[in-house]
Amino acid sequence: MKIPTLIAGWLVLSLAVLSTAARADERDAGFAPLFNGQDLAGWVAVNTAPSTWSVDNGMLICTGKPIGELRTTRMYQNFVMELEWRHMKPGGNAGVFVWADDITARGVPFHRGIEVQVLENAYGNTRSHTTHGDIFPIHGATMTPINGRGGSRAFPIENRSKPSPEWNHYRIECQDGAIALSVNGKVVTRGKECSPRKGYICLESEGGVVHYRNVRIKVMPDSPVAAQHVATANRDYRCLYDGIGLAGWKAEGDGWQPKDWVLSYAATTAGSLTTTEEFGDIGFVVDVRLAGDSSGQPKAGPAARINIRGAQIPINRDDPALGKHLVKGRGWNRFTGALRGNQLTLHINGEPVLADQPTDALPRGRMQLITESPLDFCNIYVRDLQE
């Protein structure tokens, strides 16, 4: 073989290697870890237990119990996110949320936002969903799907996800309300005109044991965005119910049953839950679902009340001031408000009910959930209002 031919071949090979390396460097430029591989710094467990999320050998491990969310401490608008995930059992369910609110939506364990589905192949594919990277708006968010089927869900154009326990790679690109998902190296799912289009990133716990690794993000410059397209920013709420048990509560009555993200009371006799923690001035969120009678209609009459430091909030359809704001069906109701000193401000299902109403509240005290009949609670949040 001639020497010039060898040199020419070597040069071609070298240039190819250098070109590949340059492309790899370009792809990696600007990325920073979103999960540091050591702890949960930069993340907030919104409504899950300490046992739900752990770190082992550089992986973020989710038990799937309870159903709930882990979110970033920072909001993002335009970015590229990459991660690897694997389900450890066939049929596992999880997800990645983008542009999400600070806490979960009314009556559900999930945020308002755009969900990127993380389903294991054995979950099965149907007309309404696939296991290969669907994208869809959830709980009040909106999106126009590309490759939709008449609804708001975007479906992948190709099946590329690998079964348990193999690793899958996601690349999620979010720019000006448009979202694109690459599954194992190819863009397969897209949506546009998303709202919100600025918010938090969440990882979802939904029953399946799932591992994450190499979670990283490239933040792009923000664009002008209207206020209605920005998710609710952090209000410093923390959840008082961990979805596993009654840690932090003292129970009276034998009907209390933790059922994953729902805290139920099943007895027909009176019962109560009282926090072990005392509070001063606080903001609060409590979601309540009243039980129905044998026909499925919601019961009227005395049902329950929320007691915060002695300030009483009836959950009663017969209450003339509050009952008219409760949903008519057996749906979830959201009570939100603040107790400053002895003055109570209250909204029910987003409607103002009380504004700085004087109460018999003590300067400090506990929160109680009191019921005389079966009902369900979820999404019990408080935030400290002390200056």
Q: Domain limits of the chain?
A: 30-232, 239-384
Task: Give the list of residues 6+ apart from residue 269 with CB closer than 8 angstroms, or none.
Answer: 253, 254, 255
Task: Report the CATH fold assignment for 239-384.
Answer: Jelly Rolls (2.60.120)
**DSSP-assigned beta bridge partners for residue 213:** 84
Model pLDDT, residue 328: 82
Least confident of 130-139, 286-295, 351-360: 286-295
Task: Report the CATH fold assignment for 30-232.
Answer: Jelly Rolls (2.60.120)
pLDDT band at 321 (very low <50, low <70, confident <90, very high): confident
**DSSP-assigned beta bridge partners for residue 257:** 264
Model pLDDT, residue 368: 97
Instruction: Name the residue type at position 257.
Output: Q
Would you report the helix, strand and coil content of the chain in percent, each value rounded to 5? Answer: 10, 45, 45
Residue 3 scores a pLDDT above 80: no
* Structure confidence by residue, pLDDT tens digits, 226-253: 999 999 999 999 999 999 999 999 999 8
Stretch (H or E) spanning 215: strand 210-219
Model pLDDT, residue 318: 82
> Which has the closest alpha carbon to 385: 284, 309, 282?
282
Whole-angstrom Cα distance, residue 201 to residue 299? 39
Whole-angstrom Cα distance, residue 109 to residue 106? 8
Tell me the HSE value of 170 on the side-chain side, using a 13 A CA sphere. 30
Residue 293 scores a pLDDT above 70: no
Domains 30-232 and 239-384 share a fold: yes
Length of the chain: 387
Whole-angstrom Cα distance, residue 111 to residue 158? 28
Model pLDDT, residue 296: 45
Whole-angstrom Cα distance, residue 52 to residue 69? 10
Tell me the HSE value of 65 on the side-chain side, using a 13 A CA sphere. 6
The pair of three-digit structure tokens given for residue 243, joined into one six-digit string: 């979805």
Residue 73 CB burial class (10 angstroms; 0-12, 13-18, ≥19): exposed
Neighbours of 295 (CB within 10 A): 5
pLDDT band at 97 (very low <50, low <70, confident <90, very high): very high
Mean pLDDT (whole number) for 52-76: 98
Model pLDDT, residue 294: 39
Mean pLDDT of the residues in the chain: 91
